[in-house]
Amino acid sequence: MKAVYFTEHGSLDVLQYGDVPDPELGPGEVLLRMEAAALNFNDIWARQGLPRVALPMPHVSGTDGAGVVVDVAKDVDGVSVGDEVITYCVNACRRCPACLRGEEVFCKRMRIWGFQTGPYDGSYAQYAKVQVQQVAPKPAHLDWTEAAATTTSLLSVWRMLVTRAQAKAGDSILVWGASGGTGSFALQLCRVLGARAIAVTSSEAKARFCREMGAEEVIRSDTDDVLARVRDLTDGRGVDIVFDHVGETVWPTSVESLAWGGKLVICGATEGFEPKIDLRYLWNKQLSFLGSHIGTHREWMDCLRLVEQRKVHPPVTRTFPLHEVPAAQKLMEDRQLMGKLAIRIDADA
């Protein structure tokens, strides 16, 4: 089968498009003919390499996908050949106490499919295998590329805002990186929750997109003093929640932007992992710093209900054929994107 893969970490030059071995099913697995995939920043982390993180090689990235079931293991039921499905990126043992109580994210064997699994085990390929627990019916009203973009970003946002930060109607929420895939889902979810989203982005075109996604206010990081604007928009109080997936470069502003008793929730760090903090802010303002990582199957089902109800829509703005994954990754790496980028696998058939 055709796939995009790499055999060593590095720049975009390490990505290769070519033939790789077809997946072989194991117990409890299903085989998909991939129709589409969607990009996430962990694709870039995987390619570049992360300290103290060993990834199986050769590596096929892609943690989001949609496709058609073409084969199932003998012990699989509830899923049939011909089913149109989307994928859930959490691969877990399904047997430990954490899994059995519905907290797969705390399974000691949990791996993010297409990021930590392998070799040759992600959605940037014509065929892929996943555990049967990792598939759900494709929402009928979505096309393949939209369907492929329904999981990782939206699920991360749900766990951050609903489960971890417990956002509620009336909360003010500062959303960093608001025009990207994760940020644009956060803006939509804020609107559903009745929270006031204050988006941070870097151009007028991106600002317009953020307003379309649900931002009530937009701060231009290229022209505005973000902290001053936050204080102005909140009458000096600060925001109830900071939604962060940027990390080190925005951390000081995030901490100072919080109201007393406020919460900072973070799921990643695209601009650095080692921020500095004056701990006096933490105890004097009685702040809460919350880490969040992907989400459970139960939370995924909650997300999909919002998609089925048309309250949240995958914001796919550009699509690429499989062999152009490097071009798509460059746009993401250079922050030259709005919403989600998707890959049409059948474009290379």
CATH number at residue 37: 3.90.180.10
**Domain count across the chain:** 2
Residue 134, amino acid: Q
Task: Say what the pLDDT of residue 347 is.
Answer: 57
* List of long-range contacts for 299-302, beta carbons under 8 Å, 24+ apart: 299/155, 299/158, 299/159, 299/162, 299/163, 300/88, 300/136, 300/151, 300/155, 301/136, 302/158, 302/162
d(CA 349, CA 183): 32
Domain identity same for 250 and 337: no
* Domain that residue 52 falls in: 2-150+314-348
The pairing of beta strand 316-321 with beta strand 340-344: parallel
Q: pLDDT-derived band of residue 57, with 50, 70 and 90 as boundaries?
A: very high
161 token code pair = 């805002």
Packing angle of the helix pair 181-193, 204-213 (nearest 10 deg): 40
Give the least confident one: 33-42, 45-54, 227-236: 45-54
On whether residue 48 sits in a domain, the answer given is: yes
Q: What is the mean pLDDT of the chain?
A: 95
Please tell me the pTM assigned to this model.
0.94
DSSP string, 298-312: HHHHHHHHHHHTTSS
The yes-or-no verdict on residue 232 having pLDDT over 60 is yes
The 10s digit of each residue's pLDDT in 10-48 is: 999 999 999 999 999 999 999 999 999 999 999 999 999
**Other beta carbons less than 10 A from residue 107's beta carbon:** 19
Q: What are phi and psi of 130, to 5 degrees?
A: -145, 165
Which residues fall within 8 angstroms of residue 97, CB to CB, at 6 or more apart? Answer: none
Domain identity same for 32 and 134: yes
The yes-or-no verdict on residue 348 having pLDDT over 80 is no
First-to-final CA distance of the chain: 9
On whether residue 82 sits in a domain, the answer given is: yes
Task: Say what the pLDDT of residue 278 is.
Answer: 87
In 3D, which of 258, 196, 260, 200 has the Cα closest to residue 225? 200
- Residues 36 and 67 sit within 8 Å (Cβ to Cβ): yes
Q: pLDDT-derived band of residue 96, with 50, 70 and 90 as boundaries?
A: very high
95 token code pair = 């047997």
Domain identity same for 238 and 214: yes
- Residues 25 and 129 sit within 8 Å (Cβ to Cβ): yes
Task: Say what the pLDDT of residue 277 is.
Answer: 87
Task: Say what the pLDDT of residue 60 is.
Answer: 97
